[in-house]
């Protein structure tokens, strides 16, 4: 397999960085070229509820943030899922499979045993997607 990269030395390589939903400490998403980086999405409205409810909310938040950035879940390149309780993995995975369209599964890792700043959160999801 061959790859070639062509640079135009007369026009420096420039990519604009756009921040969406910026606060003093983070941005909800950052767009760089054709890549979208989402901040961790947490269950604001379902905190303390079942992992199914929290997972459903968090994946819906991912959908909303991706839409604001001009893309969708079929273009997710990688997803990191953080869980406080390893026993929640199976139920979260059921929700994930319902949410993710067939054939669109991204690179993924799941980290369990996480201690969140809010003890009522059971899940956080971080996404990198193409536009």
Is residue 5 situated within a structural domain?
A: no
Distance separating alpha carbons of residues 22 and 30, to the nearest angstrom: 9
- In this predicted model, which residue has the larger pLDDT, 8 or 131? 131
Q: Quick check: is 118 in a domain?
A: yes
Domain-located, residue 6: no
Q: Name the burial class of residue 109, with classes exposed (0-12), middle (13-18) and buried (19+) by CB atoms within 10 angstroms of its CB.
A: exposed
For 67-104, what is each residue's pLDDT tens digit? 999 999 999 999 999 999 999 999 999 999 999 999 99
Give the pTM: 0.88
- CATH, residue 91: 3.30.1330.40
Is pLDDT of 16 > 90? no
Whether the pLDDT of residue 4 is over 60: the answer is no
Tell whether 82 is covered by a domain.
yes
Residue 3 clears pLDDT 50, i.e. is over it? no
Domain extent at residue 36 = 17-130
Q: What is the pLDDT of residue 95?
A: 98
In the chain, the number of structural domains is 1
Looking at residue 12, its pLDDT comes to 58
Read off the pLDDT of residues 25-65 as tens digits, 9 standing for 90 and up: 999 999 999 999 999 999 999 999 999 999 999 999 999 99
Give the SS3 label for residue 93.
Answer: helix
Q: Is residue 109 part of a domain?
A: yes
Residue 100: the pLDDT is 98
Would you say residue 79 lies in a domain?
yes
Per-residue model confidence (pLDDT) at position 5: 45
- Contact (Cβ atoms closer than 8 angstroms) between residue 131 and residue 36: yes
Q: Which pLDDT score, from 0 to 100, does residue 15 have?
A: 76
CA-nearest of 44, 11, 40 to 26 is 40
Does residue 48 sit within a domain? yes
* C-alpha 29 chain-centroid distance: 9
């Amino acid at each position: 397999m061959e790859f070639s990269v062509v640079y135009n030395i007369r026009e420096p390589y420039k990519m604009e960085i756009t921040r969406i939903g910026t606060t003093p400490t983070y941005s909800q998403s950052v767009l760089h070229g054709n890549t979208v980086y989402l901040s961790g999405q947490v269950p604001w409205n379902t905190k303390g509820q079942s992992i199914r409810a929290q997972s459903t909310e968090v994946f819906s938040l991912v959908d909303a943030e991706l839409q604001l950035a001009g893309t969708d879940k079929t273009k997710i390149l990688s997803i990191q899922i953080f869980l406080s309780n390893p026993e929640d993995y199976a139920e979260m995975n059921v929700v994930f499979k319902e949410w993710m369209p067939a054939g669109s599964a991204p690179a993924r890792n799941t980290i369990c045993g996480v201690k969140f700043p809010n003890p009522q959160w059971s899940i956080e999801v971080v996404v990198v997607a193409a536009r």
